[in-house]
Amino acid sequence: MSDLHARHRSVLPDWLALYYEEPLEITHGEGRHVWDSEGNKYLDFFGGILTTMTAHALPEVTKAVAEQAGRIVHSSTLYLNRPMVELAERIAHVSGIPDARVFFTTSGTEANDTALLLATAHRRSNTVLAMRNSYHGRSFSAVGITGNRGWSPTSLSPLQTVYVHGGVRGRGPFAGLDDAAFIDACVADLKDLLGHTRPPAALIAEPIQGVGGFTSPPDGLYAAFREVLDERGILWIADEVQTGWGRTGEHFWGWQAHGRNGPPDIVTFAKGIGNGMSVGGVIARAEIMNCLDANSISTFGGTQITMAAALANLSYLLEHDLQGNARRVGGLLIERLRAAAAQDPGVREVRGRGLMIGVELTRPGTGLADPDRASAVLEAARADGLLIGKGGGHDTSALRVAPPLSLTVAEAEEGAAILESALRSTR
């Protein structure tokens, strides 16, 4: 493994991050487990950054991929594509967006990039509202609306971005308010902000901020924002790259916790829908999706083999009620972690929904982020056979727990016990 690491460093960028002091090579997986090149077995609580949504080597998906590969792998969007049409029909139906159109991409970054193109063209404005502590991808335009310093390598951008309060409940100037007052303060701030900017094209927001450490506002914030936006014709883009497909348990889409005024104008998705295959996309009302006045394609977006995988994966998720499983097993897991955290002065908060849980670490008595301990917990958990992630805003000090949605109660208990031990050993 050290030889592979040296080869990695000699040909790949320095900024391509790797977990662990001694990075591991994952060679295969099954269910909720993966194995490394040295034969070590791990319970996977991160799923390739929330991408292995149902299970590793899910037979229904691998069979669909193999059968499609035996027919044709790719033809581009210049030809009719039955798997793409069938998946678009299913996604349009579950989206909640009336007269929906679906455009497929290869990643969440490309999906958000497309959503920004649609919104700015439709509104004829390059001003975009984004949330503080947000992350939307690594393309030039997506970096330009990312409100997380650790993932924003340049201030140059084709967009004029204005950052809005509200994505982080427990920090910032309104943190001490109760939920209702917090929402009122954020709405008042938004109204004031709009009086000082050119008319924006859209607000883009993650219902739960992923890279930002699984933070979220009180339910209803984006519904309240939507009332302000609708009065001015400003679009709402929900970035569901990490929250979609039932991961939050209570809802199929993250936006539904804020949905009293109906669905967003545009929804972006990626990650889990392909269960490891490279699938992303955009859902929008026809009038918005069709507003472009030039030709466009996506060479690899919607290619037959990825569409076959996503169709099989979505069917499995719906037929086995994995949203319900995320609600039940996720509820058990978060309560188990909160009980463990109650004994640890360095755990500031355990938060989340379903199987999307964040554990924020701080230096006891200071409220300051503790990224060194977060790294130490990752190492300790790995040593005991558990893989988790990390993220955060001001610093990377939130542990990110997001297993495949088929996680069992026994596996949740096992993972919680390992994580509790890792927290205890790093105090």
Over residues 59-78, the pLDDT tens digits come to: 999 999 999 999 999 999 99
8 Å CB contact between 146 and 113: no
- Half-sphere exposure of residue 158, counting CA atoms within 13 Å on the CB side? 9
- Residue 48 pLDDT exceeds 70: yes
Instruction: Answer whether residue 363 shows pLDDT above 90.
Output: yes
395 vs 207: which has the higher pLDDT:
207
What b/e sequence results for 313-323 when a residue is b if at least 16 CB atoms lie within 10 Å of its CB, and e otherwise?
bbebbeeeebb
**Reported pTM:** 0.96
CB-CB contact of 422 with 340 (8 Å):
no
Contact assessment for residue 116 and residue 143, using Cβ atoms and an 8 Å cutoff: no
- pLDDT given for residue 13 in this prediction: 96
**Widest distance between CA atoms in the chain:** 61
Average pLDDT over residues 222-227: 96
The answer to whether residues 171 and 349 touch, using CB atoms and an 8 Å cutoff, is no
Share of the chain above pLDDT 70, in %: 100
Q: Is the pLDDT of residue 379 over 80?
A: yes
| 118 alpha carbon, distance to own chain's centre | 21
Please compute, for residue 272, the number of CA atoms within 13 A of its CA located in the half-sphere on the CB side: 30
Structure-block tokens of residue 177: 């308010």
What are the start and end residues of each CATH 3.40.640.10 domain in the chain?
63-319
In three-state secondary structure terms, 412 is helix
pLDDT value of residue 396: 81
Is 80 exceeded by the pLDDT of residue 395? no
Instruction: Please report the pLDDT score of residue 105 as a whole number.
Output: 97
As given in the structure block, the two tokens for residue 63 are 């069979």
Residue 86 CA to residue 307 CA, distance in Å, equals 9
Residue keyed to tokens 């056979």: 385
Q: Name the architecture of domain 2-58+321-425.
A: Alpha-Beta Complex (3.90)
Do the Cβ atoms of 215 and 393 come closer than 8 Å?
yes
- Read off the pLDDT of each residue in 271-288 and give the average, rounded to a whole number: 97
- pLDDT for 156 equals 85
pLDDT one-digit tens code per residue, 295-329: 989 999 999 999 999 999 999 999 999 999 999 99
Average pLDDT, stretch 234-245?
98
Where does the chain hold its CATH 3.90.1150.10 domain(s)? 2-58+321-425
pLDDT of residue 165: 95
Each residue's pLDDT tens digit, 141-195: 999 999 998 888 888 899 999 999 999 999 899 999 999 999 999 999 999 999 9
Amino acid at 290: N
Least confident of 120-124, 225-229, 258-262, 406-410: 258-262
Query: 280-285 and 266-269 as β-strands: parallel, antiparallel, unpaired?
Result: antiparallel
Instruction: Give the 3-state secondary structure of residue 420.
Output: helix
CATH assignment of 63-319, among 1.10.760.10, 3.90.226.10, 3.40.640.10, 3.90.110.10: 3.40.640.10
Q: Categorize the per-residue pLDDT at 1 as very low, low, confident or very high, splitting at 50, 70 and 90.
A: low
User: CB of 297 within 8 A of CB of 106?
Assistant: no
Confirm if 218 and 207 have CB atoms less than 8 A apart: no
Question: Could you give the 3-state DSSP secondary structure of residue 211?
Answer: coil
